[in-house]
Structure 1
Amino acid sequence: MNILLVKPYNISDHIQPPLGLGYLATAVRKNHKVQLLDCIKMGIKQGDFTSYLDRDNYDAVGFQCYTYDLPVLKPLLEMCKKRGMLTLVGGPHPSAVPEETMAYFGKDLDYCFQGEAETGLPMLLDSIEWKKESDKRGIPGLVWREKGRVIVNEKDYVDKLDDLGTPAWDLIRPQEYPEAQHGAFFKNFPIAPIVVTRGCPYACTFCAGNLISGRKCRKRSPKAVVEEIKTLYDKYGIREIHVIDDNFTLDKNFAKEVLKLIKESNLEISWAVPNGIRMESLDDELLRLMKQTGLYLVSLGIESGSDRILELMKKKTTTSFIEKTIRRIRSFGIDVAGFFIIGFPGETLSDIEKTIKFSLRLDLIRANYFTYLPFPGTESYESIKREEGLDKVNWDKFLFFGASYSPKGIDATFLRALQKKAFLKFYLRPVIFWRNIIQIKSFRHFKFLCKRFFNWILKK
């Protein structure tokens, strides 16, 4: 079969290679023809999508689907069905609410996958091409219809991540992506993201990560990780690596093995951890190795300056421990960025003010203040669904900027104003302002920062 894998367009200013689709392409291309289309990178909106559909005789089109992609995907799936193409979606949203996903798209969606699909998608395509329809019940993670009823197959996780190979970098072409892919700054270019682990054993109530990759943390072999970095360096000219999984340092001995191999390789690269890492596993030896191998930035999911809210989030940390950890990281000359959530269920104005003051007290080079998003399938989402009703969630504005939810007693418009206030108070301090200004690499980088400033601060 001939399949097109699509990352749909949205107004995000994070333009980074679609690793998930890259891994799927590697799995599928063993028996089928596959192409990737990143609509965000290429600026392909709804009106332009048909011309790409008609460029090849595609049998099937698969879409990555986050919750905020729902209204965008609806007309795209309709276009595909009008051409007689098989339609599929996968990703966080169908993993969280598979039956609701099938109902939302209706007749325009043939199948969706929950969880990881590197095993299931090739099996589905094989069964369709070889007309073995009875095989569907044995396809892990498949969500399908039988006689009008939605059937959700059990998920399955690959324990040995090395068996999945690496993303189809030849189809992704990482060297063609813009400089500031994840976050607003970088040290070297071109940049490529990599995944070292999958799965998370933690139970943060707002996080949907485990819905795709499960609770067990699975690791690639250190050798496989470093071989991929070497390939990216030699074949694609990559000079900066972003480790985008959350648990690279969960097993600090594993992380040290990877870093020692990177050090032995003598690759002249910089690297960062833009999605965050767990603070509990950081010791001096690990931080020293991280610095020696080119690490310049660590992002931390700090989330709140209120110990009460941290407990509600089940973060299993305290503001005191966070402060100590940041001081420790900074002592090795590594910059720290922080992620914060405001508007969490049960949060008060006092809690939000604590978070803003806490962020200003910490030795951070950058801070991101997100309004709480009720991701389907998370514990906090289920709580809202049960106690407050989903009419509180504005799905059409389900974006990282703006406020699609606000807790009781706090108006959504006021919450957005607090978010803007936090950004301005943090970045307009002279020391922070100039520390960031001197890191601007080019006029194009400057224009990107202006766009981000507009989205986060000026946009209503």
Structure 2
Amino acid sequence: MKKTLFLSPPSFDGFDGGAGSRYQAKREITSFWYPTWLAQPAALVPESKLVDAPPHNLRVTEILALAKDYELVIMHTSTPSLANDVQCAAAIKAQNPHTQVGFVGAHVAVLPQATLEENPIIDFVCRQEFDYTCQDLAQGKAWSEIQGLSYRDKYGKIHHNPERELIHDWDALPSVMPIYARDLEITKYFIGYLLHPYISLYTGRGCPAKCSFCLWPQTIGGHQYRAKSPEAVGKEMAQAKSLFGNSVNEYMFDDDTFTIDKQRAIAISEYLKKLKLTWSCNARANLDYDTLKALKDNGLRLLLVGFESGNQQILDGINKGIKLEVARRFMQNCHKLGITVHGTFIIGLPNETAETVEETIRFACEVSPHTIQVSIAAPYPGTQLYQQALLNGWFSDQSLVTNSGIQISTLAYPEFSAQEIEASVERMYRRFYFRPRAIIPIVGEMLGDPQMLRRRLREGREFFAYLKERRA
């Protein structure tokens, strides 16, 4: 077994490039998702080490000190951070030319040939679901025999091995919880709408929805939801409670759509209730009242819901598969049951205009989730949105983030410029949050909990600093 380091490399200050983040960028407030995509293969490789540099404030010099004794370094990368990550790989190779360094992530899964051609310092990339590909590499299997691997041989020639099948026996995968406990400081991870400290994890991959912009199903996870059994999830969460005790205030199930199989979600929630755990998950805005009530009764606190837009034509154009009236009824039920909702919205999707942004702002204020996130449409390679942008000439810029990591618009339309898209983000935030229905619940949280008071004040400072930097 090769001595193996799984690395999420240093990046822009505050850059949330980890595998759990839907958009790799610097957030409005300090936000770091867990490196779920790296933790799973790390769990398959005994005595490996997982290093998540950004939340732990590790710089390249510190990474070099850690990496010097490793034979194999597997790094997670993303489209916005690729150039930066290649520099880190080059520094590792300069320190020890014999270290084998390779990349994983959606960008290299889609563009393996280009990645290897343009970056001779990289020895290999893993395509699609790479958990067992990483295990094969660590076990020293001949590279020519490893499915899902693209690599450079000793003569510099690039090879692409046959694809690896997606993982269907998820119960056979080991838990990531021991990796989290061994290698990560859970207090370093923040998400504004989740209780702190929190832990996020996947219980499965793949999403049946066909949203044109969504990265993971179109590049790595596929559209078939493959997941652990409720019994296996219950066992993993019991292990988590044993490892972390009462130091974790919330568990977030980050599956693209945890609730797509309603009976499975309810069965899992029954285990969570027995363990007395507070939990949250991703959901689509079409869950029925009875399912919502069952989950709430079993400890559900919050749902993360992608509304995207308040304009039905835009939703239909991105294959969202949700009607606004259904989303309204869903939110009415959540309010009735006392389920907190964090709503996510996207500005700059196809057919966006100043008028459709106004519709989205009005819709968000009407359904009134507790908190929102407003992102800019990001056409990642490998997605349908990326192909549409190429075909229609919508690209205004190839950069997804600024030099400081803040998300910018790479898209522009004849009736809606990139600058107008970016300006709409701040306008929506201000319109949503500067109204009594949004402010009063947040103030109530702060008055009822001194820790929440300190946290919200810090987040407020960060939020306004972010808006100032965006305008700069």
- State the TM-score, normalized to the length of structure 1: 0.89
- How far apart are 1:373 and its partner, in Å? 0.6
One-letter code aligned to 2:63: F
- How far apart are 1:338 and its partner, in Å? 1.1
Counterpart check, 1:255 vs 2:272? no
One-letter code aligned to 1:308: Q
After superposition, the Cα gap between the structure-2 partners of 1:220 and 1:297, relative to the gap in structure 1 and judged at 3 Å, is same
| Selected match of 1:97 from 88, 94, 111 | 111
2:394–2:413 contact (8 Å) kept in structure 1 = no
After superposition, the Cα gap between the structure-2 partners of 1:152 and 1:414, relative to the gap in structure 1 and judged at 3 Å, is farther
Percent identity reads 23
After superposition, the Cα gap between the structure-2 partners of 1:458 and 1:425, relative to the gap in structure 1 and judged at 3 Å, is farther
Instruction: State the match for 1:74 in structure 2.
Output: 86
What CA deviation, in whole Å up to 9, does each residue of 1:200-242 have, x standing for no partner? 1221100111111111111101111112112211221233111
| Selected match of 1:120 from 133, 158, 183 | 133
Distance 1:215 1:456 in 2: 36
1:5–1:21 contact (8 Å) kept in structure 2 = yes
After superposition, the Cα gap between the structure-2 partners of 1:88 and 1:191, relative to the gap in structure 1 and judged at 3 Å, is same
Counterpart check, 1:447 vs 2:458? yes
Instruction: State the match for 2:75 in structure 1.
Output: 63
One-letter code aligned to 1:295: L
- How far apart are 1:418 and its partner, in Å? 1.2
After superposition, the Cα gap between the structure-2 partners of 1:345 and 1:155, relative to the gap in structure 1 and judged at 3 Å, is farther
Query: Where do residues 144-223 of structure 1 align in structure 2 (5 Å cutoff)?
Result: 144-146=151-153, 148-167=157-176, 169-173=178-182, 176-178=185-187, 181-182=190-191, 184-187=192-195, 189-210=196-217, 211-223=219-231
One-letter code aligned to 2:103: V
1:195–1:244 contact (8 Å) kept in structure 2 = yes
Counterpart check, 1:24 vs 2:32? no
1:370–1:400 contact (8 Å) kept in structure 2 = no
2:314–2:352 contact (8 Å) kept in structure 1 = yes
2:341–2:371 contact (8 Å) kept in structure 1 = yes
- How far apart are 1:327 and its partner, in Å? 0.8
Distance 1:148 1:226 in 2: 47
Instruction: State the match for 2:319 in structure 1.
Output: 314
Distance 1:42 1:246 in 2: 26
| Selected match of 1:436 from 427, 439, 442 | 442
What CA deviation, in whole Å up to 9, does each residue of 1:240-267 have, x standing for no partner? 111111221111111121122323x2x2
Instruction: State the match for 1:141 in structure 2.
Output: 148
| Selected match of 2:346 from 338, 341, 349 | 341
Distance 2:428 2:350 in 1: 19
SS at match of 1:279: coil
One-letter code aligned to 2:259: T
- How far apart are 1:395 and its partner, in Å? 4.1
SS at match of 2:251: strand
- How far apart are 1:390 and its partner, in Å? 5.2
- How far apart are 1:346 and its partner, in Å? 3.0
Unpaired stretches in structure 1, ≥5 consecutive residues: none
After superposition, the Cα gap between the structure-2 partners of 1:242 and 1:434, relative to the gap in structure 1 and judged at 3 Å, is same
| Selected match of 1:392 from 390, 397, 418 | 397
SS at match of 1:248: coil
2:79–2:107 contact (8 Å) kept in structure 1 = yes
After superposition, the Cα gap between the structure-2 partners of 1:334 and 1:391, relative to the gap in structure 1 and judged at 3 Å, is closer
- State the TM-score, normalized to the length of structure 2: 0.87
Instruction: State the match for 1:242 in structure 2.
Output: 252
Instruction: State the match for 2:23 in structure 1.
Output: none
One-letter code aligned to 1:181: F
Q: Which has the larger displacement, 91-100 or 112-121?
A: 91-100
Distance 2:250 2:183 in 1: 11
- How far apart are 1:171 and its partner, in Å? 5.0
2:378–2:400 contact (8 Å) kept in structure 1 = no
Distance 2:323 2:162 in 1: 39
Query: Where do residues 2-41 of structure 1 align in structure 2 (5 Å cutoff)?
Result: 2-10=3-11, 11-12=14-15, 13-29=30-46, 33-41=47-55
After superposition, the Cα gap between the structure-2 partners of 1:419 and 1:396, relative to the gap in structure 1 and judged at 3 Å, is closer
1:371–1:400 contact (8 Å) kept in structure 2 = no
Counterpart check, 1:278 vs 2:284? yes
Unpaired stretches in structure 2, ≥5 consecutive residues: 16-29, 447-451
One-letter code aligned to 1:177: I
Distance 1:452 1:98 in 2: 37
- How far apart are 1:163 and its partner, in Å? 0.7
One-letter code aligned to 1:122: Q
Distance 2:74 2:184 in 1: 24
After superposition, the Cα gap between the structure-2 partners of 1:167 and 1:359, relative to the gap in structure 1 and judged at 3 Å, is same
SS at match of 1:369: strand
SS at match of 1:300: strand
Counterpart check, 1:401 vs 2:407? yes
CA RMSD of aligned residues (A): 2.3
Instruction: State the match for 1:417 in structure 2.
Output: 423
Instruction: State the match for 1:44 in structure 2.
Output: 58
Instruction: State the match for 2:336 in structure 1.
Output: 331
Higher RCO, 1 vs 2 (CA within 8 Å, ≥6 residues apart) = 2
